[in-house]
Amino acid sequence: MAYKDLRQYLKRLEDERELAVVEAEVDWDLEIGAISRRAIDRRSGALLFNRIKGYAPEYRILTNPLGPGSPIHALFSLALDLPKDTPVLELINWFARKSIESVRPIIVDRAPCKENVLNGNEINLYHFPVPRIHGIDGGRFIGTWHIDVIKDPDTGWVNWGMYRHQLLSERQVGWLAVPAQHGASIYFQKYESRNKPMPMAIAIGTDPLSAIVASSGLPAQTNEVDVIGAMQGEPVELVRCETIDLEVPASAEIVLEGHVLPHERAIEGPFGEYTGYSSGGRFPRPVFHVECVTFRNNTILTMSNMGKPWDDFAILSDIVISAVLLQELRKLGIPVRAVYSPPPSLSVIVSAKSQYAGFIHSVASAIWSAKAGIYRPSVFLVGEDVDPTNLEEVFWCLTSRLHPSQGIHIQREAPGQALMPFLDDATRQAGRGARAAFDATFPPDWPAEEVPQIMDFENGWPTEIRQKVLTRWNEYGIR
């Protein structure tokens, strides 16, 4: 089933008991943030706040739209219209398979997001209950679960991404665009070098698949909206913006239209980020000038409470980043059993049989050259017998097979991402970092008799003994 909008998805969550509707009046200033973080810790699913202090009841806030449920990936599975107990590896393989399919969108003339239209001086973004989420945040953040829509001025490639947005004034919004990400380098840097403003739209409160795919790090020249159409089994409905040459999801709750001006910067940050820390610091960053706002009646502002896993992004990224990187390795013909990027998505674990001396370098180079892998500073290669989603198995493998002096390969002066908590301010501003590849596999040229034998139920006993034990298990009376 394709969810036509966010509200259909919420109805499904309510039916599955993964949505709590909060009728008590709550404060946009930190209280909602603290409530949603407590709900994350308790695996309480999504929260819909219907009464916000200082705001009319037609303005609501949805938090934890993919938040941990029961089981932890329940909401993500439901967003894909899969059973809520779908195993993680199945989710990864499903996303990897669908991410290379394509269904073009359609343009519609009438759209729910156009029920209200404001232009110029009519706009005051403080009319929406924009939350201040964490105690350390530099302000109120209107963009934490949304889609940025931008078009390459040369190729026409339209990218849907998700970059945080701090509310700076009634009609100005900050934009954290990490320099090496395509949202800034391929698009904004082109416009800025030509001294031209860059058109951009921010769609808030879309259907769940749109937000998921916008955050996935799909390869360059891939239009995310085409992949979303393939995943939901029918074209995405788009509507043209009022003031700029872009199209946005017709069912979005709120759409902000405007331009990012060249050579203009304003102080942005800090913000509690997906790394689990206050990340990115407080630095001058590009400014988005809002020239038109369209929104639905009884609008819902979506909010993600980034922080120590598991939050929405952790649940999203461990599936989509893993899936995209799995597909990249397959495309290059590198044989792997599975790929997993556990939260907070700073590392990648690859389960594979080491094919030749230096196989770790082929794996790590493939990951670091992919758009979805450039900012994953740690790559771990574990044996094909290891389930990369079972971190107990991964830790056992690392501590027993990783050679302390020969198995760790460090790459210096690598691209660094501003949100990495282990970087100092000077390194962060310079965009520099480091990466490491960990080879926790036995060397492929070892003679078979020298390879240590794994001692578990599957490998430690002859087949006939294992079968005998399984057949008689109920006789033993072991709970």
Active site residues: 273
Task: Single out the residue of 212, 223, 195 nearest to residue 104, CA to CA.
Answer: 223
- Asked if 143 contacts 202 with a C-beta cutoff of 8 angstroms, the reply is yes
CA–CA dist 392, 69 (Å, integer) = 22
- Asked if 184 contacts 148 with a C-beta cutoff of 8 angstroms, the reply is no
Task: Single out the residue of 329, 456, 470, 309 nearest to residue 386, CA to CA.
Answer: 456
- Structure tokens belonging to residue 265: 């910067």
- Asked if 59 contacts 299 with a C-beta cutoff of 8 angstroms, the reply is yes
The angle, 0 to 180 degrees and rounded to 10, between the axes of the packed helices 312-331 and 88-98 is 60
Question: What separation, in Å, do the N-terminal and C-terminal C-alpha atoms of the chain show?
Answer: 41
461: preceding bond cis by omega (within 30 degrees) = no
305, HSE (Cβ side, Cα atoms, 13 Å): 31
- Asked if 163 contacts 146 with a C-beta cutoff of 8 angstroms, the reply is no
CA–CA dist 44, 72 (Å, integer) = 10
CA–CA dist 312, 323 (Å, integer) = 17
Beta bridge partners of 150: 159
